[in-house]
Structure 1
């Protein structure tokens, strides 16, 4: 499954770069930001947790105000339950690697060479790398251990849909307020709760090679 998504991402990126050769310059950049993670857990109410992300990105022109902005990053997130439930998670902290084939629609045409607002949207696929978990035993006592991924445990893959509003300057500065809606239930254990993530993030980025 990992190989399939990696191949799909590489093919999409190659096709996009090839198509964009006659449409304009391709930019490369870095970005990072703070995240406030809200989780929907059917077992109990949860608290918001703090997280963050850092990664790299590309900006590939497509047509007029439309750009393909593929990104990869490392994303740190977590979940914390308000009450302890036997045989259920009460806390999760996780580091992911994410692949994000996003698109960006700018309010102003690039030929005007002006600062512009933009909308960013598209899917992402996250791969769980490592983490910590707290889960209650039969007696309701919390047990801390490394996060265990598996088809009958905590899910290693998570799909999200992103929607963001941003501002970009002519010298390469990029600001973005983003909402990510988790599409996957992260708990694969039979008869266990349903856990999905909702993330609000604020980030800053920079495109190399941009000049007024």
Structure 2
């Protein structure tokens, strides 16, 4: 949470330095999955539904380039069937279904293809995330199942991570936007030495509305 507070303080400083800032509220849905390796062998991973919701700003930077940071909630997860086994999540697990709740702070730059009120744009940059909580449903090799909270720690799952976000979308003259969004995990979700390599993926659609406010 200290990271999020620092980001918010940075945004407030940015507001006071500009004559006009576009405030953005947005939400969207995505298919969430992961690139998952155990001892170098790729595991069979499938998508599951998730989504995002948050607030951002669009600050003029240079010509048609804007700084567009945001803070948002994200719902992520994946389903995996194991062909090789690891202590994370358990040595006797043959499948896992995870659901994770995270807070992310994004440092994005946006380029508008036109100065007209209605225009296409691209947006990209890194995010820092903190997992608030997570659940996993393990299927074990004896046919039983275990439902539990995901353990975050030094030799289990990491609570902090980083991602790369890329968007391509359209902003209307009325201040609405729609964008296709791709998220690629830059860091390994697993903290276990010699454990799995788990890097999350998501692809979906984001919808938003700008609210304009000029500095007096």
Asked whether the two chains share a fold, i.e. TM above 0.5, the reply is yes
1:7 to partner: Cα distance: 5.9
1:204 matched to 2:204: no
Q: Pick from 31, 34, 49: which aligns with 1:36? A: 31
Q: Pick from 7, 13, 16: which aligns with 2:14? A: 16
Structure 1 gap ranges (5+): none
1:8 to partner: Cα distance: 4.8
Query: Which residue number in structure 2 is paired with residue 102 of structure 1?
Result: 108
Query: Which residue number in structure 2 is paired with residue 52 of structure 1?
Result: 51
| Cα separation, 1, equivalents of 2:185 and 2:124 | 14
1:26 matched to 2:21: yes
| Cα separation, 1, equivalents of 2:168 and 2:15 | 24
Cα 1:73–1:156 change in 2 (3 A) is same
Q: How many correspondences in the alignment? A: 202
1:77 matched to 2:76: yes
Cα 1:187–1:57 change in 2 (3 A) is same
Higher relative contact order (CA 8 A, sep 6+): 2
What secondary structure does 1:13 align onto? helix
1:50 to partner: Cα distance: 1.1
| Cα separation, 1, equivalents of 2:117 and 2:97 | 46
TM-score (norm. length: structure 1): 0.85
Query: Which residue number in structure 1 is paired with residue 180 of structure 2?
Result: 177
1:67 to partner: Cα distance: 1.1
| Cα separation, 1, equivalents of 2:177 and 2:151 | 36
| Cα separation, 2, equivalents of 1:27 and 1:189 | 42
| Cα separation, 2, equivalents of 1:134 and 1:127 | 21
1:45 to partner: Cα distance: 1.4
| Cα separation, 1, equivalents of 2:77 and 2:118 | 35
Please state which structure has a larger fraction of its residues in strand: 2
What secondary structure does 2:203 align onto? strand
| 1:129-208 correspondence runs (5 A) | 129-135=132-138, 142-208=145-211
Q: Is the 8 A contact 2:33 2:79 kept in 1?
A: no
Deviations 1:85-131 (A, max 9, x none): 6544422110101111211110012xxx4300001011101110112
1:139 to partner: Cα distance: 6.3
Q: Is the 8 A contact 1:85 1:136 kept in 2?
A: no
Task: Please give the root-mean-square deviation of Cα atoms over the aligned residues, in Å.
Answer: 2.2
